[in-house]
C-alpha cells in the first residue's frame, strides 16, 4: 500500500535541470532504495523531501494527503528524518548534546542524564558502540555518521531518509547497520535508502527506483532484479570487469616508513612503531576499520601531522625537515584526503579554482604573478570533460556539486600533477558503480605509469580490485602484507578485528 509518494517533481539550478518530472511510490514499512550515478539527482531529490529545496513543480504525498515541505521543520513535523551524506553536526558539542539540540522541552524536563540513558538504549539496540560524552570533533568519521543516524531515530522519525549512510562504515559496521535497518522496517519505519552499493540494495531493499540524468529510469522489486541489471540501468551501459594485472614487477623502494609513532587529535596512540615500504609502480592497499590510525599515517607522510618518533624516507632521503608544501612539490607527493569537504576542497570556490589549487602560481593558471582567470576557466572545463565531473560550468561552486563529483575534482587535481607517490584515502567513497570503475582505472594507469600508490580504504572489495599487496591496520600497527587472492575476506575481517591469523 502506497504510504509516501513523489509526484512529478522537477527542480532546476540555473540552466541545469537536476530533476525532471520524477514520480514513484513507497510502501509503508518497507526499505525503498534510490540508485543513480553521481549527479543523477538523488541528493537533490532527498533535499526536496526534507524541505531544504523547494521544487519548481510537483509535490509530496504522505498517507494520500499532499504535504508542503517549506523547511526541515515541516519535514520533521510530518515524521521525516534525514541523515545527510555530509554531516550536519556541531563539532564542539558532545554526542548527546548534538542529538538533543533543538528538542526544547523534553530536554529541560528530563535533563541530559536521562536523555543520555535513553540514547544509550538506542545505541545498544542498533549495535553502536559510541562515547556519548565525547565532543564530536574528536570522533573518527564512522563514529560521526553514527551520531547522525542516532539523531534522526531519536526524534521518532517514521519515514527515515538515508543519503549514503554506510559510506564511512567498516564492513562489520555495515553488517550491523543493515541488520538494524531491517529491525526498524519490521517495526514499521518506512526507509528511503540512497546508496551506490548494489550489494546493500540486494541485501535489504524491498523495491528500487533508478534515476539517470534527473529522470526516472526504472523501478524494480529487488526479488525481480540483479546487481548486473541495476548497474546497467544506472549507467546506461555494460560495465567492464576490473582487471588489475600488470605488465612487469614493481621497482625499487620509493617510500619507506620506519618505526612511526604519532598521536591522534584525541591524544591517543594512533601510530605504534609502524613500518612499511612502497615500491615504484605498485599499489599497496591498507585495509582496516575506520579510526585505527589510517588518517594519521597519511597525514604523517604528507607532513600534516608531527611524528613523536620514527623516520620517513623518499628514495633514501629523510624528509623529516620538509614542510607539507615542500613534500608536495619537492618529493612529488599527492594526497586525496578522506574528508573531501573539510580538507579536500575550498567549497565556496569554483570547480576550476579547486582544480588549479596545486599549481595556481604556475602557467597556465598564473602569468607574471597574476591569476589568469580565463586560462583557469578553460583548463577547468577541459578537466571536467576528462574526468566526467558533472556541473553547470567550470565557474560553479564546488559546494553545489554532488559528493561524488566533489571527489572527482580532488582526484583530477592530484592525478594531473603526475605524482611520484599518490596517497589516496577512501577514493571511491560516495561514488556510483560507473565512477568507481573510472577511478580504479585511473589509479591503475598511474601505477603503470610508475607511481607508487598507497591506497587506504575501509571497502575491502575496492582494495582487492586494485592492490598488488594488502596489509591490515589495527590500533596503529600493520599486519604482514598479502597478495589479493591469497587471503579470504573472512580472514581479512579477523585481522581488522585484531585477531591474529596464527591465533585463529
Average pLDDT, the chain: 87
Report the percentage of the chain scoring pLDDT > 90. Answer: 48
> 271 falls in which pLDDT band (50, 70, 90)?
very high
Bridge partners of 36, per DSSP, are 211
For domain 2-235, the question of CATH label 3.40.50.300 is answered with yes
Triad 413, 414, 418: Cα angle to 5°: 110
- Rounded to 10 deg, the angle between the 171-186 and 489-496 helix axes is 100
C-alpha cell at 298: 597519511
pLDDT band at 451 (very low <50, low <70, confident <90, very high): very high
Please state the domain extents for the chain: 2-235, 253-496
Alpha-carbon distance 366 to 130, whole Å? Answer: 48
pLDDT digits (tens, 9 = 90+) for 325-358: 999 889 999 999 988 888 899 999 999 999 999 8
pTM of the predicted model as reported, rounded to 2 decimal places? 0.70
DSSP state of 27: E
Binning pLDDT at 50, 70 and 90, where does residue 458 land? Answer: confident
Q: Which three cell numbers stand for residue 52?
A: 531544504
**Are 4 and 159 in contact, with CB atoms under 8 Å apart?**
yes
pLDDT for 210-245, tens place per residue? 999 899 999 999 999 998 899 888 888 766 655 555
Q: What is the pLDDT of residues 276-301, one digit of tens each?
A: 999 999 999 999 877 899 999 999 99
pLDDT at 484: 87
Residue 54: which H helix or E strand, with range? none
Peptide linkage before 364 cis (omega within 30 of 0): yes
The predicted pLDDT at position 198 comes to 87
| Residue 369 in grid coordinates | 604573478
For residue 370, what is its C-alpha cell?
597574476
- Please indicate whether residue 283 or residue 39 has the higher confidence score (pLDDT): 283
Per the listing, cell 625537515 goes with 321
Question: Using CA atoms, how far apart are residues 152 and 158, in angstroms rounded to an integer?
Answer: 10
Beta bridge partners of 253: 279
pLDDT of residue 502: 52
Q: In a 3-state reduction of DSSP, which class is residue 470?
A: strand
- With bands split at pLDDT 50, 70 and 90, how would you rate the model's confidence at 504? very low
Q: For the domain bounded by 253-496, which CATH number is listed?
A: 3.40.50.300
Amino acid at each position: 500500500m502506497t504510504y509516501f509518494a513523489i509526484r512529478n517533481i522537477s527542480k532546476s539550478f540555473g540552466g541545469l535541470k537536476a530533476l525532471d518530472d520524477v514520480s514513484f511510490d513507497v510502501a509503508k514499512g518497507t526499505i525503498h532504495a534510490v540508485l543513480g550515478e553521481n549527479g543523477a539527482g538523488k541528493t537533490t531529490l532527498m533535499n526536496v523531501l526534507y524541505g531544504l529545496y523547494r521544487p519548481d513543480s510537483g509535490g509530496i504525498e504522505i498517507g494520500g494527503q499532499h504535504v508542503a515541505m517549506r523547511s526541515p521543520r515541516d519535514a520533521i513535523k510530518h515524521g521525516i528524518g534525514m541523515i545527510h551524506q555530509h554531516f550536519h553536526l556541531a563539532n564542539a558539542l558532545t554526542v548527546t548534546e548534538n542529538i538533543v539540540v533543538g528538542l526544547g522541552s523534553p530536554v529541560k524536563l528530563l535533563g541530559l542524564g536521562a536523555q543520555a540513558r535513553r540514547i544509550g538504549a538506542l545505541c545498544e539496540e542498533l549495535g553502536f558502540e559510541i562515547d556519548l560524552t565525547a565532543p564530536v570533533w574528536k570522533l573518527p568519521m564512522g563514529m560521526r555518521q553514527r551520531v547522525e543516524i542516532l539523531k534522526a531515530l531519536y526524534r521518532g522519525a517514521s519515514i527515515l531518509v538515508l543519503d549514503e549512510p554506510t559510506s564511512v562504515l567498516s564492513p562489520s559496521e555495515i553488517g550491523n547497520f543493515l541488520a538494524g535497518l531491517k529491525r526498524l522496517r519490521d517495526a514499521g519505519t518506512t526507509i528511503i535508502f540512497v546508496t551506490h552499493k548494489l550489494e546493500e540494495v540486494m541485501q535489504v531493499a524491498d523495491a528500487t527506483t533508478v534515476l539517470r540524468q534527473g529522470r526516472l529510469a526504472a523501478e524494480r522489486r529487488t526479488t525481480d532484479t540483479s546487481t548486473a541489471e541495476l548497474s546497467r540501468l544506472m549507467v546506461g551501459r555494460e560495465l567492464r570487469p576490473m582487471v588489475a594485472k600488470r605488465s612487469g614487477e614493481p621497482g625499487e623502494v620509493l617510500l619507506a616508513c620506519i618505526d612511526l609513532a604519532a598521536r591522534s587529535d584525541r591524544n591517543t596512540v594512533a601510530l605504534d612503531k609502524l613500518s612499511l615500504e612502497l615500491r615504484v609502480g605498485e599499489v599497496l592497499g591498507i585495509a582496516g576499520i575506520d579510526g585505527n590510525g589510517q588518517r594519521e599515517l597519511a597525514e604523517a607522510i604528507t607532513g600534516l601531522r608531527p611524528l613523536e618518533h620514527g623516520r620517513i624516507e623518499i628514495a633514501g632521503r629523510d624528509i623529516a625537515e620538509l614542510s607539507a608544501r615542500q613534500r608536495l612539490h619537492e618529493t612529488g607527493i599527492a594526497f586525496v584526503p578522506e574528508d573531501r569537504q573539510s580538507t579536500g576542497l575550498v567549497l565556496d570556490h569554483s570547480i576550476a579554482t579547486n582544480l588549479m589549487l596545486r599549481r595556481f602560481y604556475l602557467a597556465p593558471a598564473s602569468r607574471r604573478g597574476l591569476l589568469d582567470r580565463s586560462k583557469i576557466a578553460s583548463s577547468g572545463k577541459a578537466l571536467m570533460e576528462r574526468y566526467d565531473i558533472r556541473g553547470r560550468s567550470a565557474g560553479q561552486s564546488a559546494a553545489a556539486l554532488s559528493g561524488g563529483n566533489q571527489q572527482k575534482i580532488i582526484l583530477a587535481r592530484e592525478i594531473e600533477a603526475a605524482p611520484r607517490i599518490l596517497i589516496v584515502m577512501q577514493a571511491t567513497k560516495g561514488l556510483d558503480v560507473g565512477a568507481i570503475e573510472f577511478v580504479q582505472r585511473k589509479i591503475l594507469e598511474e601505477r603503470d605509469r610508475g607511481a607508487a600508490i598507497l591506497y587506504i580504504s575501509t571497502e575491502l572489495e575496492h582494495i582487492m580490485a586494485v592492490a598488488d599487496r594488502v596489509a591490515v591496520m589495527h590500533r596503529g600497527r600493520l599486519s604482514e602484507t598479502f597478495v589479493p587472492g591469497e587471503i579470504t575476506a573472512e580472514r581479512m575481517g579477523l585481522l581488522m578485528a585484531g585477531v591474529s591469523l596464527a591465533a585463529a
